[in-house]
Structure 1
Amino acid sequence: MPALDLSQSPRRWPALAALTLSVLIVGLDGTVINVALPTIAGDLHTDSAQLQWISGGYLLALSVAMLPVGLLGDRYGHRRLLLSGIAVFGAASLVGSLADSPTAVIAARAVLGLGAAAILPLSMAILPRVFSKDEQPRAIAVWTAATALGMPVGPVVGGWLLNHFWWGSVFLFNVPVAVVALAAGLWLLPRDAERTSAAPPFDTLGALLGGLGITALVYGTILISEDGWTAPSVLASLSAAAALLAGFVVRERRFPHPLVDFALFGDRRFRWGTLIAVFVNFAVMGILFVVPQYLQSVLGNDAFGTGIRVLPLIGGLMLSAALSEFLLPRLGVRLVVTTGLLVLAAGVLFGATTGAADGYGFAAGWLGLTGLGFGLAVVPATSLVLGTLPDHGTGSGTSLLETIQQLGSALGVAGLGSLLSYGYLARLHTGRLPTSEADAARDSVSDADALAGQLHDAGLAVNAHASFVHGMSLVLLVCGVIALLGAGLAAAFLPRHAGAPGAGQVSGTVAEPAESIA
Structure 2
Amino acid sequence: MNVDKATAGLPEANSRRRWWALAAVALGVSLIIMDATVVNVALPVVIEDIGLTATQAEWMNAVYSLMLAALLLTTGRAGDLWGRRRLLLVGMVVFILASVAAGSVDSGIALIAARLVQGVGAAMILPATLSTVNAIFSGRERAIAFAVWGSTIGGMAAVGPLVGGWLTTDVTWRWAFWLNIPVGLVVLALVLWAVPETRDPGEHRSLDLRGAALSTLGMGAIVFALIEGGQYGWWLQDSGALSPVPVAMAIGILLMVVFVLDQLRRRRAGDSVLVDLTLLRLRSFRYGSIAALVVALGEFGLLFTLPLLLQNALGYSALGTGWLVLFLAIGTFLISGATPQLTARFGARAVVRIGLACEAIAIGGLAITLSASISGTAIAAWLFLYGAGVGMATAQLTNVILTDVPVAESGQASGLQSTFRQLGSALGVAVLGTLLVVSLGTSTDSHLADAGVPADARTPIVETVRHSAGAAIPSLQADPSTEIAGDAAADAMITASRITTGVAAGIILVGLAATLALPAPARRDEEDGERADAASTEADA
Is the 2:47–2:471 Cα contact (8 Å) retained in structure 1? no
Provide the rounded CA distance (Å) in 2 between the counterparts of 1:446 and 1:104.
20
* Cα separation, partners in 2 of 1:7 and 1:466, compared to 1, 3 Å: farther
SS at match of 1:510: helix
Moved more, 471-480 or 118-127: 471-480
CA contact (8 A) 1:269 1:498 kept: no
* Residue matched to 1:295: 310
Structure-1 residue corresponding to 2:533: 510
Separation of aligned partners in 1, 2:66 and 2:395: 27
Within the candidate set 295, 310, 316, 1:280 is matched to 295
Amino acid at match of 2:533: V
Answer whether contact 2:147 2:395 (CA < 8 A) is retained: yes
- Aligned-partner Cα distance in 1 for 2:510–2:56: 39
Give 3-state SS (helix, strand or coil) of 2:36's partner: helix
1:92 corresponds in structure 2 to: 98
The corresponding residue for 2:216 is 211
Pair 1:306 & 2:321 matched: yes
After superposition, the C-alpha distances for 1:309-368 in whole angstroms (9 at most, x for unaligned) are 111212222233233211222222332222222222222221121231110111111111
Is residue 2:504 matched to residue 1:479?
yes
Segments of 5+ residues of structure 1 without an aligned counterpart are none
Distance in 1 separating the partners of 2:13 and 2:387: 30
Contact in 2 for aligned 1:159/1:303 (Cα 8 Å): yes
Contact 1:93–1:174 (CA under 8 A) maintained in structure 2: yes
State the Cα distance separating 1:253 from its structure 2 match: 0.7
Q: Cα–Cα, structure 1 residues 230 and 133, in superposed 2: closer, same or farther, change >3 Å? A: farther
Deviation for aligned residue 1:206: 1.6
Instruction: Name the SS of the counterpart of 1:429 in structure 2.
Output: helix
Partner SS state of residue 352, structure 1: helix
| SS of alignment partner, residue 368 of structure 2 | coil
Q: Which residue of 2 aligns with 1:182?
A: 188
Match of 1:80 in 2: 86
Which residue does the alignment assign to 1:200? Answer: 205
Q: Alpha-carbon deviation of 1:383?
A: 0.9
Aligned mates of 2:112, 2:487 — CA distance in 1? 38
2:251 to 231, 240, 262: 240
Whichever residue aligns with residue 254 of structure 2, its letter is A
Indicate the residue corresponding to 2:240 in structure 1. none
Query: Which residue is equivalent to 1:348?
Result: 363
Q: Does 1:227 align with 2:232?
A: yes
For residue 229 of structure 2, what is the amino acid of its counterpart?
I
C-alpha distance 326-32 of structure 1, shift in aligned 2 (>3 A): closer
Q: Distance in 2 between matches of 1:295 and 1:75?
A: 46
Q: Deviations over 1:381-422 (max 9, x none)?
A: 211223344445444322221222222232233332343345
Q: Which SS does the other structure have where 2:447 is aligned?
A: coil
Could you report, residue by residue, the CA deviation over 1:53-81 in whole angstroms, capped at 9, with x for unpaired residues?
Answer: 66655444333321111111122222221
* Other structure's SS at 1:230 match: coil
Aligned to 1:269: 284
Aligned partners of 2:77 and 2:119: how far apart in 1?
18
- With structure 2 as the length reference, what TM-score do the two structures score? 0.82
Aligned to 2:343: 328
CA distance in 2, matches of 1:201, 1:75: 7
Residue of structure 1 equivalent to 2:331: 316
Distance 1:289 1:96, change over 3 A: closer
The 1-side partners of 2:530 and 2:286 are apart by: 20
Q: Deviations over 1:275-328 (max 9, x none)?
A: 122222222123213322232223322112211211121222223323321122
Structure 2: distance between partners of 1:285 and 1:103: 22
Q: Distance in 1 between matches of 2:65 and 2:393?
A: 26
- Shift of the 283–95 alpha-carbon distance from structure 1 to 2, 3 Å rule, reads closer
2:448 is aligned with 1:430: yes
- Structure 2 distance, partners of 1:388, 1:164, is 49
8 A Cα contact 1:442 1:448, kept in partner: no
Q: Partner of 1:378 in structure 2?
A: 394
Give the letter aligned to residue 203 of structure 1.
D
Corresponding residue of 2:239 = none
User: Shift in Å at residue 380 of structure 1?
Assistant: 1.9
How many Å apart are 1:191 and its aligned residue?
Answer: 3.2
AA matched with 2:412: S
2:493 counterpart of 1:468: yes
Change (3 A) 1:50 1:393: same
Shift in CA distance, 507/80, structure 1 to aligned 2, threshold 3 Å? farther
Once residues 183 and 270 of structure 1 are traced to their aligned partners in structure 2, the CA distance between those partners, rounded to angstroms, is 35
Measure, in 2, the Cα distance between the counterparts of 1:486 and 1:56. 21
Give the 3-state SS of the residue equivalent to 1:176 in structure 2. Answer: helix
Q: Which one of 474, 483, 488 corresponds to residue 449 of structure 1?
A: 474
Number of aligned residues: 512
Per-residue deviation at 1:228? 4.0
CA change 1:319–1:445 in 2 (3 A) is same
Q: Deviations over 1:162-187 (max 9, x none)?
A: 66767764543322211110101111
* Alignment check: 8 A CA contact 2:45 2:173 kept: no
CA contact (8 A) 2:139 2:528 kept: no
What amino acid is aligned across from residue 263 of structure 2 in structure 1? E
Q: Deviations over 1:436-467 (max 9, x none)?
A: 33432454443233212112666545443433
More displaced 10-residue stretch of structure 1: 307-316 or 449-458: 449-458
Q: 1:196 to 1:257 in 2, by over 3 A?
A: closer
Q: Is the 8 A contact 1:221 1:410 kept in 2?
A: no
Contact 1:27–1:147 (CA<8 Å) still a contact in 2?
yes
Normalised TM-score (structure 1):
0.85
User: Quick one: distance in 2 between partners of 1:36 and 1:292?
Assistant: 8
- Measure, in 2, the Cα distance between the counterparts of 1:97 and 1:271: 39
Relative distance call for 1:129 and 1:403 in structure 2 (3 A) is same
1:251 to 238, 259, 262: 262
Give 1:116 deviation, angstroms.
0.6
Structure 2 CA distance for aligned equivalents of residues 348 and 374 of structure 1: 12
* Structure-2 change in CA distance of 1:15 and 1:52 (3 Å): same
Name the residue aligned to 1:406.
422
Change (3 A) 1:340 1:183: same
- Structure-1 separation of matches of 2:302 and 2:60: 24
Letter in 2 for 1:453: A
Cα distance in 2 for partners of 1:112, 1:497 equals 37
CA distance in 1, matches of 2:53, 2:312: 25
Q: Where does the alignment leave 5 or more consecutive residues of structure 2 unmatched?
A: 1-7, 237-242
- Measure how far apart 1:513 and its partner are: 6.0
Give secondary structure in 2 for the equivalent of 1:201.
Answer: coil
RMSD: 3.6
Rounded to whole Å, the distance in 2 between the matches of 1:197 and 1:125 is 16
CA distance in 1, matches of 2:272, 2:278: 12
| Whole-angstrom CA distance in 2 between matches of 1:456 and 1:447 | 14
